[in-house]
Amino acid sequence: MTAWELDVRSRKSARYATGVAVVCVVLFVVLGAALRSSATGVYFRAIDQIAMAGIGLALGGGVMLLTRPRLRAGEDGVLVRNAFGERRVDWDLVRGLSFPDGAAWARIELPDDEYIPVMAIQSNDREHAVEAVRSFRALEARYATTGE
């Protein structure tokens, strides 16, 4: 088990995503409950109401994927988890952490002009993002070797 010296998650995006997910679920459950009493001339059954609630749960679950991003770093390397995947990188492959102008999130630079987006460090987190970048760069200075 690796002891991670840095563990970063986005703060604002996770809060916003949780709020939007709750609104989606509540909205679709209320709409589903209101289907029976609709005067549209269409007959809705219980299965239609359940399906509406299911759609709300599916949308809420999809939005909650935005709470997954995390960056972990330690002596053994860097672990980047974004909404749909996770990737581990050894320090000898890391060429830096950059935050391009206008970018929503940071990225880890790799050899051959490749990079890994780091959704855990987002520009809307402001000071939290600055501190995360500083902490990462301090660990990079300690553990990374330039493979060039």
Q: What is the pLDDT of residues 53-74, one digit of tens each?
A: 999 999 999 999 999 999 999 9
Q: Across the chain, what does the average pLDDT equal?
A: 91
Domain assignment present for 57:
yes
Q: What is the pLDDT of residue 45?
A: 86
- Answer yes or no: do 61 and 73 share one domain: no
- Answer yes or no: do 80 and 134 share one domain: yes
Structure tokens at 76: 């053994």
Please name which of 108, 127, 124 lies closest in space to residue 17, comparing C-alpha atoms.
Answer: 124
- Answer yes or no: do 107 and 47 share one domain: no
Domain assignment present for 89:
yes
Domain assignment present for 148:
no
Q: Does the model's pTM come out above 0.85?
A: no
Q: Is the pLDDT of residue 146 over 60?
A: no
Please name which of 78, 87, 70, 64 lies closest in space to residue 10, comparing C-alpha atoms.
Answer: 70
pLDDT range class, residue 148, cuts 50, 70, 90: very low
Domain assignment present for 3:
no
Domain count, the chain: 2
For 77-109, the pLDDT digits (tens) are 999 999 999 999 999 999 999 988 899 999 999
Residues 6+ apart with CB under 8 A from 32: 48, 49, 50, 51, 52, 53, 56
pLDDT range class, residue 147, cuts 50, 70, 90: very low
- Answer yes or no: do 73 and 136 share one domain: yes
Domain assignment present for 6:
no
- Answer yes or no: do 75 and 42 share one domain: no
Q: What is the pLDDT of residue 33?
A: 87
CA 49 from centre of chain: 31
Quick check: 119 and 111 in contact, CB under 8 A? no
